[in-house]
């Protein structure tokens, strides 16, 4: 009899714990959101100690998605995961060359959002980002240089990591469609071997669309 009572109590406790766990998971899932994102970008560099060289922004594109957790009614934490193709132009003594870059990026935002005009929302965010370059090349006329390739001395022009901060501004329609703009600037020098003599800090302006699945 005692064993039956203990088994019954154990079954009740386990059932209650399972129900509470399921309720907790359901509650957490109810605060999560996410969706795809596509952007056009303009990218360039802030140059230091490189006399006679100018950096001009050029057009590229980004694709990926975002995931977030709604902490309160008006505050969320959000992560963007994007692949970037960027093109910028370097000009020296009238000669122009194109610097192309392909890389992945994680951006983390503290996001404020407020309802405006009914179910539409205004979105404002800021936070850090980290990136890793997969490919970077500089082409002038018919000459192309792999900026990540080591030369005979074991040196390379660029290093692949990027770190910086960004801000974003968005407007979301009631259906979940978003229009977003962002600006990001790097604080880590992209130069590798020449970094003791000069610096190149990346910057990027983006404008794109996204869709937030309703949660």
For residue range 26-43, list pLDDT tens digits in order. 555 667 999 999 999 999
195 falls in which pLDDT band (50, 70, 90)?
Answer: low
| The predicted structure's pLDDT at residue 17 | 46
Question: What H or E segment, with its residue span, contains residue 152?
Answer: none
CB–CB of 103/162 below 8 Å?
A: yes
| The predicted structure's pLDDT at residue 65 | 95
pLDDT tens digits along 96-151: 899 999 999 999 999 999 999 888 999 999 999 999 999 999 998 888 889 998 87
Q: Measure CA of the first residue to CA of the last residue in the chain; give whole Å.
A: 49
pLDDT for 3 beyond 70: no
| The predicted structure's pLDDT at residue 194 | 66
CB–CB of 34/70 below 8 Å?
A: no
Mean pLDDT of the chain: 86
* Across 8-17, 44-53, 106-115, 152-161, least confident range: 8-17
CA triple 79-84-85, angle to 5 deg: 170
State the CB neighbour count (10 A cutoff) for residue 15. Answer: 10
- Nearest of 145, 141, 142 to residue 155 by alpha carbon: 145
Half-sphere exposure of 39 (CA within 13 A, CB side): 28
What mean pLDDT is predicted for residues 45-70?
91
Q: Which two tokens stand for residue 65?
A: 């998605």
- Nearest of 149, 151, 166 to residue 202 by alpha carbon: 166
Find where tokens 């022009």 sit: 157
| The predicted structure's pLDDT at residue 142 | 80
| Number of residues that make up the chain | 215
**Strand intervals (E) in 2-160:** 32-48, 53-72, 75-92, 95-116, 120-140, 143-146
- The DSSP code for 196 is G
């Amino acid at each position: 009899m005692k064993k039956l009572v203990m088994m019954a109590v154990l079954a009740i406790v386990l059932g209650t714990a399972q129900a509470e766990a399921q309720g907790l998971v359901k509650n957490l899932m109810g605060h999560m959101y996410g969706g795809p994102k596509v952007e056009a970008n303009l990218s360039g560099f802030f140059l230091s100690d490189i006399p006679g060289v100018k950096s001009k922004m050029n057009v590229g594109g980004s694709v990926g998605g975002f995931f977030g957790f709604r902490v309160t009614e008006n505050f969320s934490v959000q992560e963007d995961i994007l692949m970037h193709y960027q093109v910028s132009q370097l000009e020296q003594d009238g000669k122009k060359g194109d610097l192309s870059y392909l890389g992945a990026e994680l951006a983390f935002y503290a996001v404020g959002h407020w309802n405006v005009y009914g179910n539409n929302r205004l979105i404002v965010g800021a936070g850090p980002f980290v990136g890793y370059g997969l490919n970077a090349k500089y082409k002038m006329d018919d000459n192309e240089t792999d900026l990540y390739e080591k030369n005979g001395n074991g040196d390379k022009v660029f290093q692949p990591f990027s770190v910086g901060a960004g801000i974003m501004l968005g407007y979301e329609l009631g259906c979940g469609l978003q229009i977003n703009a962002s600006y990001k600037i790097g604080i880590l020098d992209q130069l590798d071997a020449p970094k003791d003599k000069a610096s190149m800090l990346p910057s990027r302006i983006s404008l794109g669309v996204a869709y937030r699945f309703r949660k």
